[in-house]
A and B are shown apart, each in its own frame.
Chain A
Amino acid sequence: MRKLFALLSLLVLASLVLSACGGAAPTEAPSQPEQPAQPEQPAVTEAPVATEAPAIQEKEAVLRVNTGTYPDVIDPQKSSFVNEIGHLDKIYVGLTTLNEKLETVPGAAESWTFSEDATQLVFTLKPNLLYSDGSVLNAKRFEFAFQRNIDPATAGEYASITDEIMGAPEWRGADTAAEGYDPETFKAALGVKASHADGSDCADYEDADCNTLTLTFSKPAPYFATIAGIWVGYPAKEENIAEGGDIWWTSSKYQVGNGPFIWQSVEPFVKSVFVPNPNFAGGSIPTFSMEYSYITDSAVAFEAYRNNEFDVIGSAAEDLPVIEADPDLTAQHVTYAGSCTTKIQFSLFPTWGGQPNPFTDKKVREAFALAYDAEGWARDVDGGLGSPTWTWIPPGYPGYDATTPLKFDPDAAKAALAAASEPFNSAEKLNAMGLKMTFSDSARNRQRHEWLAANYKNILGVDLALDPVEPTTYTAIQKDPDTYPLLSRGGWCADYPDPQNWLSVYWRTGTFSDRWGYSNPEFDALVDEADTSTDTAKRAELYAQAQQVLLNDIPAAFGYNSLNHYLVKPWVQGYLTTPQDHMFPGDLTPWTITIDTSMVP
């Protein structure tokens, strides 16, 4: 028995030793490729030895952010999730970027010009651009970025976003396993070309005069200057990708970029450290470092924030009552418009479950839209996490228009249902059909949909059976028109701030709307014309008309816009919020942020 206990004692000791010593790195931490000199830090003067006064050390300005989930992939041409982009846009900046008003402004490019018919876009890069390691950043790097995004070997999840580029869909759809497949042929036919200002060919990546990138489109694309700034166009270095192989993106040493920060180190699932990039040319150089942590439990993150271990966290619904009850936290609570609109989507196919689909009748759709108490939802269900809406494009985005034909009106809803055609013109008849609302199963979603079912029961007298489905299964059934649910909650979050992204990408025939069967030739004609118009004012007008056509069709009950909720410590100052923020307020323009270290406890 003594032996057994001795063995177990050894086990415990060994485990403690392993935990303590296992962390010691056997070798020096890998260094970044040679970095240019960092901005000088204030020197700390040694205290005179005789007096032995404690040296007063200035606190380092660090922004500590909890980002939640650790990204699956941090590769500009393969990433697609918000947490992934929230890392990439710190390391890189595209040809263009967005300002606090969500306007497209110069990033790495100094200027850009469209051809008269908007089928060609020419970017001129800022002079003397450098990567964080001091190497030259020229137009050829951006040429590689767009080529890599389109290359089917990359198979990026957002590859299709640059399909306007001539030759892009053809190359992406090519059979790479086919005999005679030659990527160089497709590359040569691609409408992406780097050159000198005079149009002559660039030599290589060291060619500092290679400052022009020409994109040629297969159709007019006046919105493409905005797309050119998103992450798929970030200039990751070809040689680093080659050297690091398939897993190059996991190592901070290969992620040499031109963004506001250098990704100095990473311990997956624990912490990433970003330091200012002295060669950043997209704005001013940030005056602080950043630490990303990856705590996914909101209650723990909230405790850490209260314990002054985070400077910024996203606030969860369950934290809101505590925040509201605490004056200090209330003062630190930052709320502003987000980037998503959520709706209750009706299936518009002629039949559902072998019987006629009631939502093909516009009056039924009108009844359900009018009966949706969006304000009650925002207040009672989402606890202030969203704001009610009766339109599609959310506030803060180009194309937002509060004019709407429908708002919550119980009496009008009942009247609309009564005015519907046979056999859908009463609650009893609809109840006989056994209407069903399908949703992605989670405790929170159950609560949400129970509220919705009660809402429709109270106002229209309609019974909605709730149909919870495992989340990935829910996505799968939504992607197939044959299995698309009769009623479901869904929505859209902006990829980039242009009405084209909200209307043409989502509601035009042949896009997302095919899943639930929405198609209107009038709407299609309007967005087609807007998508190709080079007249900014005319584009805006056409999109506005298209949105009104959409709202009048009532393909869905538009419900609420997301709100960004953050808790921000008072020493974090100067941030400029936008609905497009990914990780923290001021995320798009972090160089405006300052950390008042004198306030940090």
Chain B
Amino acid sequence: MVTYLFRRLFWLIPVLITVSAVTFIIMRSAPGGPWDTDADRRQVDAATAKSLAAYYGLDKPMWRQFMAYVIGDTNSQTKEYVCGMICGNLGPSYRQRGRTVQDILFSAPEGKTFWQSRFGYSIRLGVMALAMAVFIGIPIGIIAALKQNTIADYVALFIATSGISVPSFVLAIFLIIIFASKLHWIDIVVDDWTQVKYWFMPMIVLGFGTLAFTARLTRSSMLEVIRQDYVRTARAKGLAERAVVFVHMLKNALIPVITILGPALAGLVTGSFIIETMFSFPGMGRAYVQAIGQRDYSMIMGTTLIYAALVAIANLSVDLIYVFIDPRIRLEE
């Protein structure tokens, strides 16, 4: 197990380098640059653009810029060696002048903890959304399968279909109108994210789609195993229905559900542009999307690499969880 774990973690290195190379090529192929702002306003003049390019190393050949990002390079102005991605340096932001990508994403405002950094906010909301998806989605799927073609099944399917088909921005404004404007249970303008009540709406909006997908997948997996011989055998042995459902059926039905939950978690914790713009939530999803439009190269690279690393780690976690769920699965020969 330990060898397997180390081998998989080792493989993260070429994966991340490949991801960074592909991202680098794609983003640098797009026309425009970090100082190409709205054409209807005063533009950065040539002398300043040259200074900025020299400071950020954008005046060097492409291959050297990539190597500088991954390994590091000497700053032409300060003459200091700056280590790259391999040292955990995700580079300077070109738009948020003076700040590095890791500072923007992982540093909290003054006097606050890591959990109030943009990554901290996103990871907390993502975990909550996933927990909601698991704790509500899986039971809905189980009930729908056990009560197939009954009103319970139809209600479950309705919820699942709604979750998949209703866009998150529609759900968000719908919830805001009901709970904030009409019922006045919460404020729309959140100025203190330390209060738990404010987290529920973003959590519901972020997690509803995953909940719906989890419910549908659980239902279909349960329906598949429900007619298996070993389930019939368990019942024939006189086992209690609860034991049949939870020990024999659900345990086997959960494999595909867990397979999707890993990448889903990675997606949820890296934030959501929609959630963050609608709820003024200070997560990292906005940073990712805005960086693309702003051609903030380091921010694009940094957020992509974090997402890639999270997906890889989530997939590894899923592989490890398989072993606990299904004893037939072995990680090594």
How far apart are the CA atoms of A542 and B204 in the complex, in Å? 62
B262 CB to closest chain A CB (Å) equals: 14
Per-position contact with B for A466-487: 1 when CB-CB < 8 Å, else 0?
A: 0000111111111100000000
Per-position contact with A for B204-222: 1 when CB-CB < 8 Å, else 0?
A: 0000000000000000000
Structural contact, A161 and B38, CB atoms closer than 8 A: no
Q: Is A295 an interface residue (CB 8 A)?
A: yes
- The residue in B32, B77, B103, B172 that gathers the most chain A C-beta atoms within 10 A of its C-beta is B32
- The residue in B30, B97, B195 that gathers the most chain A C-beta atoms within 10 A of its C-beta is B97
Structural contact, B96 and A73, CB atoms closer than 8 A: yes
B112 CB to closest chain A CB (Å) equals: 6
Per-position contact with A for B241-260: 1 when CB-CB < 8 Å, else 0?
A: 00000110011000000000
Cross-interface CB contact of A152 among B51, B97, B111, cutoff 8 Å: B51
Structural contact, B135 and A475, CB atoms closer than 8 A: no
Q: Is A537 an interface residue (CB 8 A)?
A: no
Q: Is A317 an interface residue (CB 8 A)?
A: no
Nearest CB in chain A to that of B47: its residue = A173
Q: Is B333 an interface residue (CB 8 A)?
A: no
How far apart are the CA atoms of A11 and B43 in the complex, in Å? 49
A291: chain B residues at CB < 8 Å are 191
B199: chain A residues at CB < 8 Å are 16, 19
| Binding site secondary structure of chain A | mixed
A22: chain B residues at CB < 8 Å are 113, 115-116, 120, 124, 194
Per-position contact with A for B158-187: 1 when CB-CB < 8 Å, else 0?
A: 000000000001001100110011001001
How far apart are the CA atoms of A30 and B282 in the complex, in Å? 20
Structural contact, B112 and A72, CB atoms closer than 8 A: no
Per-position contact with A for B11-40: 1 when CB-CB < 8 Å, else 0?
A: 000000000000000000011110111111
A454: chain B residues at CB < 8 Å are none
Cross-interface CB contact of A303 among B42, B134, B181, B250, cutoff 8 Å: B181
A249: chain B residues at CB < 8 Å are 98
Structural contact, B134 and A155, CB atoms closer than 8 A: no
Of A377-385, A386-394, A488-496, which stretch is located at the interface? A488-496
Structural contact, B111 and A28, CB atoms closer than 8 A: yes
How far apart are the CA atoms of A280 and B229 in the complex, in Å? 83
Find residues 501-522 in chain A having any chain B CB closer than 8 Å to their own CB.
505
B7: chain A residues at CB < 8 Å are none
Nearest CB in chain A to that of B43: its residue = A479
Structural contact, B192 and A23, CB atoms closer than 8 A: yes
Q: Is B48 an interface residue (CB 8 A)?
A: yes
A294: chain B residues at CB < 8 Å are 280
Known: A20-B194, A245-B98, A293-B189. A476 touches B177 (CB 8 A): no
Structural contact, A18 and B115, CB atoms closer than 8 A: yes
Per-position contact with A for B55-73: 1 when CB-CB < 8 Å, else 0?
A: 1000000000000000000
Structural contact, A478 and B39, CB atoms closer than 8 A: yes
Nearest CB in chain A to that of B79: its residue = A177
Known: A293-B191, A304-B188. A246 touches B97 (CB 8 A): yes
Structural contact, A250 and B99, CB atoms closer than 8 A: yes
B323 CB to closest chain A CB (Å) equals: 13
Per-position contact with B for A261-304: 1 when CB-CB < 8 Å, else 0?
A: 00000111111000000000000000000010111110110011
Cross-interface CB contact of B128 among A12, A78, A246, cutoff 8 Å: A12
Structural contact, B280 and A295, CB atoms closer than 8 A: yes
A454 CB to closest chain B CB (Å) equals: 24
Q: Is A176 an interface residue (CB 8 A)?
A: yes
Q: Is A43 an interface residue (CB 8 A)?
A: no
Of B83-91, B271-279, B311-319, which stretch is located at the interface? B271-279
Structural contact, B113 and A26, CB atoms closer than 8 A: yes
Known: A295-B189, A476-B33. A1 touches B246 (CB 8 A): yes
Q: Is B196 an interface residue (CB 8 A)?
A: yes
Structural contact, A27 and B42, CB atoms closer than 8 A: no
Structural contact, B109 and A304, CB atoms closer than 8 A: no
Structural contact, B282 and A246, CB atoms closer than 8 A: no
Structural contact, A266 and B109, CB atoms closer than 8 A: yes
How far apart are the CA atoms of A250 and B97 in the complex, in Å? 10
Structural contact, B173 and A299, CB atoms closer than 8 A: yes
Structural contact, A155 and B55, CB atoms closer than 8 A: yes
Of A137-145, A305-313, A403-411, which stretch is located at the interface? A305-313
Q: Is A188 an interface residue (CB 8 A)?
A: no
Q: Is A536 an interface residue (CB 8 A)?
A: no
Structural contact, B173 and A300, CB atoms closer than 8 A: yes
Find residues 104-150 in chain B having any chain A CB closer than 8 Å to their own CB.
109-113, 115-116, 118, 120, 124-125, 127-128, 131-132, 134-135
How far apart are the CA atoms of A156 and B128 in the complex, in Å? 41
Cross-interface CB contact of A20 among B120, B131, B195, B280, cutoff 8 Å: B195
Structural contact, B97 and A267, CB atoms closer than 8 A: no
A287 CB to closest chain B CB (Å) equals: 22
Structural contact, B97 and A73, CB atoms closer than 8 A: yes
A304: chain B residues at CB < 8 Å are 180, 188-189
B331: chain A residues at CB < 8 Å are none
Q: Is A159 an interface residue (CB 8 A)?
A: yes
Known interface pairs A249-B98, A294-B280; 9 further A-B residue pairs with C-beta atoms within 8 A, sorted by A's residue number: A152-B51, A245-B98, A269-B282, A295-B280, A297-B277, A300-B176, A304-B189, A475-B36, A490-B39
Q: List 5 A-B contacts (CB under 8 A).
A: A23-B116, A157-B44, A271-B191, A306-B181, A472-B295
